[in-house]
Structure 1
Amino acid sequence: MCVDGVDLHVRADGPVDGPALLMLHGFGASTAWFDQLVARLPEFRIIRVDLLGHGGSARPTSGYDPDSQGRLYASLLAELDLDDVTVVGHSMGGLFGVATAEHSTRVARLVLMGEGPDTSTGTLPPGEWVIHTPWIGPILQQYGPGFVTDRVVRRAFAPGFDMATAFTDPSQGLDDARSLNHPAFTQTMRRRQAWTRRLGLDARLDNLALPALVIFGGEDRFYDVDAALARYRAVRTITTTVLEHVGHTPMIEAPDRVAELIRAFLG
């Protein structure tokens, strides 16, 4: 689908007159990371999109800052003529969901999974800086040893989680991580940090004054869950939930519980 001159891979599920959900996946992922959740929410009109630079969407050399992406997904909602939309964002998709709400009055509420208010509450995998190195970075990101990328993907799940249950295609995580072009990798990370340094997601949600549900797995290995939740709980419009024995990816590790939480939140 072409939106503002940009080709986006968009998937639609559910009845056309169902309550609208826009699902935005995390960094290095794809729409497939929501497959299990979509299957458990058949009454909703669910729109999924591969983020810019990911999966089947375009891979330009620029446009990866949160404001540009927020405007892009806001335009997508306008193209589809969807109103009263709940944005469901995982990890960095949650950040882009907040940016979308800042650029669209069609967003009525937000669900954020595994995304802290800014990078001060998170940690990156050891050695991640190497990917940002010119010449070397693009080669490693696209063609580096599979076991290294798999280890990073594995970190998105709680210790002991059975990865065989995560995806229909066992290579999904590795393929998605390698699908990014290098500008998407480096620019997204750097501009995300600058954007949240100006104003964190907690403050942005406070300014939006929209109902928001923040879900964390208690065993998230990318964020300090207590530090992130302390920030979010200070905002009156935010409801927080922690899922025990779950890591950074609740919609795959605990899809039944996440589906129930979304229904209760919208109800």
Structure 2
Amino acid sequence: MSVDGVGLHVRADGPVDGPALLMLHGFGASMAWFDQVVARLPECRIIRVDLLGHGGSARPTSGYDPDSQGRLYARLLSDLDLNDVTVVGHSMGSLFGVATAEHTTRITRLVLMGEGPDTSTGTLPSGEWMIHIPWIGPILQHHGPAFVTKRVVRRAFAKGFDMATAFGNPAQGLEDARSLNHPAFTESIRRRQAWTGRLGLDARLDKLALPALVIFGREDRFYNVDASLARYRAVRTIMIAVLEHVGHTPMIEAPDRVAELIREFLSSGEKPETPLESADPRMKQP
């Protein structure tokens, strides 16, 4: 689709009258990272997008800051004439999901997976700084040793997770990591840090006052889970689910549990006054 003159790779699944979900994948990934969850939510109308600079979407030299991407995906929802939309974001896609909600009233709920309130609760892979070096960075990103890229992708999963079960295409992780253009790589990280530095996701969710579900894998290797959740727990509209034996990518490592959480969240109505939190796939009153 052309959205405000930008080419976006968009896919729609499910009945047109089903509950509307907008799924935004994480940094260096693609819409394929949601395949397993989509298959488990056949009753939903699911719109997936390859983020700007990723997969089959356009690769401009600018526009990678959260506000610009939020406006872009808000316009997409307008073009599709979708209302009462639940954003389901993973990692950096969660960030852009919140930014989208700040630019449209079509979003009424948010599901955020594996994303801390800001970069203070996260860690980047060692050597990541080298990718930002002009000339050298693009060569390393696109033509560096495959085993190095695969090691970074592997970090998105809990130790011991069987990577053979992650994707239908065994090379998906490597191909996605290498597909994004260099501006998308460098600018997304820089702009993200500045955006959350001004106001973290916890404070932004508090201002939005929309029901939100935050899902973390207990074995997330990109974020300090306890530090992140301590911030999110302070927001009245947020529910929390922590999945044991799961890493940074719950929708791939535990698709049954994630689909169940989303389904329960969609059917729960308004956010209750008493926060819900559970390490079990079923959200229960403590």
Indicate the TM-score class for this superposition, using the shorter chain for normalisation.
over 0.9
Post-superposition Cα deviations, 1:94-142, rounded to whole Å, max 9, x if no partner, equal 0000000000100000000000000000000000000000110000001
> In structure 2, what is the equivalent of residue 198 of structure 1?
198
Q: Deviations over 1:138-160 (max 9, x none)?
A: 00001100000000000000000
Aligned to 1:24: 24
The one-letter amino acid paired with 1:73 is: Y
**Partners of 1:252 and 1:79 in 2: CA distance:** 30
Structure 1 residue 8: Cα displacement = 0.1
User: Take 1:264 and 1:41, find their aligned partners in 2: how far apart are those partners?
Assistant: 12
Task: Provide the secondary structure at the position in 2 that maps to 1:82.
Answer: coil
Cα drift, residue 259 of structure 1: 0.4
CA distance in 2, matches of 1:263, 1:7: 31
The alignment yields a C-alpha RMSD, in angstroms, of 0.3
- How far the C-alpha of 1:224 sits from its partner, in A, is 0.1
Q: In the alignment, what sits opposite 1:182?
A: 182
Structure 2 distance, partners of 1:177, 1:201, is 25
Q: Distance in 1 between matches of 2:105 and 2:142?
A: 38
Structure 2 residue matching 1:29: 3-state secondary structure: coil
Aligned: 1:236 with 2:236: yes
Amino acid at match of 1:178: R
2:231 is paired with a residue whose SS is helix
Cα distance in 2, alignment partners of residues 107 and 153 from structure 1: 30
**Alignment match, 2:131:** 131
Gaps of 5+ in 2: 268-286
Distance 1:190 1:240 in 2: 28
In 1, Cα distance between equivalents of 2:50 and 2:76: 12
Normalization by structure 2: what TM-score?
0.93
Gap regions ≥5 residues in structure 1: none
Aligned positions of 1:22-101 closer than 5 A = 22-101=22-101
Q: Distance in 2 between matches of 1:191 and 1:237?
A: 26
Alpha-carbon shift at residue 172 of structure 1 (Å): 0.2
User: Partners of 2:8 and 2:165 in 1: how far apart?
Assistant: 28
Distance 1:19 1:214 in 2: 19
User: What is the TM-score of this pair, normalised by structure 1?
Assistant: 1.00
Query: Post-superposition shift, 1:61?
Result: 0.2
- Aligned twin of 1:13: 13
1:147 counterpart = 2:147: yes
Letter in 1 for 2:115: E
Q: Does 1:111 align with 2:124?
A: no
State the secondary structure of the residue aligned to 2:239.
Answer: strand
Aligned to 2:276: none
Counterpart residue number, 1:221: 221
Identity of aligned residues (%): 86
Count of residue pairs the alignment pairs up: 267
Deviation at 1:75, TM superposition (A): 0.3
Task: List structure 1 segments (4+ residues) > 2 angstroms apart after TM superposition.
Answer: none
